[in-house]
């Protein structure tokens, strides 16, 4: 099936801001690169967080005010490292909630938060994604399961990703089955960083051995495909080849032979396609101070990749955003593989794209 364009079934999707609040983590998963976590970096201050939040508010407004279908809210998803470790994180959450109701807050966490924070999570967040990491200590894993089940009894949107560690596969299956039996929305998540050359162990920049793409046995693959219901006629074996659905749960349609139809799994090669990723995503890396349209794809204008600016010069980023909206700049995809931006409207043909963009 050849798809020539992609659109969202519901155009009025809010912008998703992913905010990496810092590198510090209490875990040291071997599949998590040193560039993603550490156990020593200083916590960011509340003042730094407040400045970033005030920038986010201005940036989001520029795009929202230019949409044909503006939304009445925006989503901020906090990631890390482990966001819940920094005591100032909880003060930031209070600051945002007191400042405005415009932002829905969600959290991606390893689930090992101190139980004293569960009440605040219940009061302040609309969604939590917990990743279950089997390499951590038994006591922490017990705490994670307890925290998950505690949230299950609330109205919070809760999703658990069980990271399919190739050496702890039986444990992963057991946890997956247990949570499923408790009515938790749980996904088995293959481990792969998209780097096909990196399927074995390597020495990371912090001198630690890591393995960021796991290679699965036939029986492990069989279990995965049976459990997820995904059909894949391929000999793929590593985590980055399994594919995944839209992480935001968005319904998408594809243009096939001139007709729009619902699609689930599609080829994610969109190189040089016109893409509206900047209308739906913003990524903040508090640790480096860099800002991106999207965390993983890092697309910017002129078919280039990289950050769109720094947190210490946000006026420049805001000016760029205003210019791009006023002068109708478009992004063309610089990547050979699309990850979680696969759902945003995009097209091979510029006229089809401009039509899609007019309806955002
Ligand atoms: S818990 Fe998350 S951030 Fe921490 S080491 Fe594991 S994957 Fe990385
Ligand atoms: S990788 Fe980025 S620019 Fe390319 S299609 Fe995906 S979201 Fe768009």
Pocket test of ligand 2: the residue of 294, 332, 340 to mutate, having most ligand atoms within 8 Å of its CB, is 294
What is the number of the ligand closest to the CA of 206?
A: 1
Determine the atom of ligand 1 nearest the C-alpha atom of 32.
8
User: What pLDDT does 340 receive?
Assistant: 79
> Does residue 9 lie within any of the structural domains?
no
Peptide bond into 96 cis (omega under 30): no
Determine the atom of ligand 2 nearest the C-alpha atom of 341.
7
> Does residue 357 lie within any of the structural domains?
no
> Does residue 346 lie within any of the structural domains?
no
- Is 28's C-beta closer than 6 angstroms to any atom of ligand 1? yes
> Does residue 353 lie within any of the structural domains?
no
- Is 37's C-beta closer than 6 angstroms to any atom of ligand 1? yes
> Does residue 262 lie within any of the structural domains?
no
- Is 67's C-beta closer than 6 angstroms to any atom of ligand 1? no
What is the number of the ligand closest to the CA of 141?
A: 1
User: What pLDDT does 198 receive?
Assistant: 66
- Is 338's C-beta closer than 6 angstroms to any atom of ligand 1? no
> Does residue 275 lie within any of the structural domains?
no
Give me the domain span that covers residue 186.
14-246+287-330
Its pTM stands at 0.91
Q: Which of 78, 73, 75 is nearest to 90 (CA)?
A: 78
> Does residue 359 lie within any of the structural domains?
no
Tally the domains of the chain. 1
In order along its 360 residues, the chain shows pLDDT tens digits of 788 999 988 777 899 999 999 999 999 999 999 999 999 999 999 999 999 999 999 999 999 999 988 888 999 999 999 999 999 999 999 999 999 899 999 999 999 999 999 999 999 999 999 999 999 999 999 999 999 999 999 999 999 999 999 999 999 999 999 999 999 999 999 998 555 556 688 899 989 999 988 989 999 999 998 998 865 544 444 444 444 445 555 678 899 999 998 876 677 889 999 999 999 999 999 999 999 999 999 999 988 999 999 999 999 999 999 999 999 999 999 998 888 788 899 999 999 999 999 988
- Is 333's C-beta closer than 6 angstroms to any atom of ligand 2? yes
3-state secondary structure the chain: CCCCEEEECCCCCCCEEEEECCCECCCCCCCCCCCCCECCCCCCCHHHHHHHHHHHHHHHHHHHCCCCCCCCCEEEEEECCCHHHCHHHHHHHHHHHHHCCCEEEEEEECCCCCHHHHHHHHHHCCEEEEEECCCCCHHHHHHHHHHHHHHHCCCCEEEEEEEECHHHHHHHHHHHHHHHHCCCCEEEEECCCCCCCCCCCEECCCCCEECCCCECCHHHHHHHHHHHCCCCCCCCCEHHHCCCCCCCCCCEEEEECCEEEEECCCCCCCCCCEECHHHHEEEEECCCCEEECCCCCCEECCCEECCCEEHHHHHHHHHHHHHHHHCCCCEECCCCCCCCCCCCCEECCHHHHHHHHHCC
- Is 345's C-beta closer than 6 angstroms to any atom of ligand 2? no
Determine the atom of ligand 1 nearest the C-alpha atom of 31.
7
Which CATH number is 95's domain given?
3.20.20
User: What pLDDT does 333 receive?
Assistant: 96
> Does residue 143 lie within any of the structural domains?
yes
User: What pLDDT does 302 receive?
Assistant: 84
């Amino acid at each position: 099936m050849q798809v020539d364009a992609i659109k969202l079934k519901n155009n009025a999707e809010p912008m998703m801001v992913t905010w990496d609040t810092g590198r510090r983590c209490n875990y040291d998963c071997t599949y998590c690169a040193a560039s993603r976590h550490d156990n020593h970096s200083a916590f960011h201050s509340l003042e730094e967080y407040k400045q970033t939040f005030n920038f986010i508010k201005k940036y989001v407004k520029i795009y929202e005010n230019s949409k044909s279908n503006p939304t009445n809210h925006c989503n901020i998803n906090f990631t890390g490292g482990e966001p819940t470790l920094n005591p100032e994180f909880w003060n930031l959450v209070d600051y945002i909630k007191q400042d405005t109701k415009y932002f829905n807050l969600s959290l991606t966490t390893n689930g090992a938060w101190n139980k004293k924070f569960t009440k605040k999570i219940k009061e302040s967040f609309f969604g939590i994604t917990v990743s279950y990491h089997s390499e951590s200590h038994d006591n922490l894993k017990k705490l994670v399961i307890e925290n998950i089940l505690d949230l299950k009894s609330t109205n919070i949107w809760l999703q658990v990703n069980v990271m399919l560690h190739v050496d702890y596969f039986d444990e992963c299956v057991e946890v997956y089955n247990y949570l499923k039996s408790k009515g938790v929305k749980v996904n088995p998540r293959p481990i792969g960083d998209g780097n096909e050359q990196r399927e074995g162990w390597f020495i990371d920049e912090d001198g630690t051995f890591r393995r960021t793409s796991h290679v699965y046995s036939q029986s492990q693959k069989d279990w995965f495909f049976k459990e997820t219901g995904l059909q894949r006629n391929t000999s793929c074996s590593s985590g980055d080849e399994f594919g995944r659905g839209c992480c935001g749960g968005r319904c998408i349609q594809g243009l096939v032979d001139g007709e729009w139809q619902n699609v689930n799994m599609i080829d994610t090669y969109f190189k040089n396609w016109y893409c509206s990723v900047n209308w739906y995503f913003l990524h903040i890396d508090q640790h480096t101070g860099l800002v991106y349209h999207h965390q993983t794809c890092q697309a910017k204008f002129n078919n280039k990749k990289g950050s769109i600016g720094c947190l210490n010069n946000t006026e420049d980023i805001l000016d760029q955003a205003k210019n791009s909206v006023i002068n109708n700049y478009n992004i063309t995809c610089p990547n050979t593989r699309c990850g979680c931006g696969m759902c945003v409207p995009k097209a091979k043909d510029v006229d089809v794209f401009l039509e899609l963009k007019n309806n955002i």
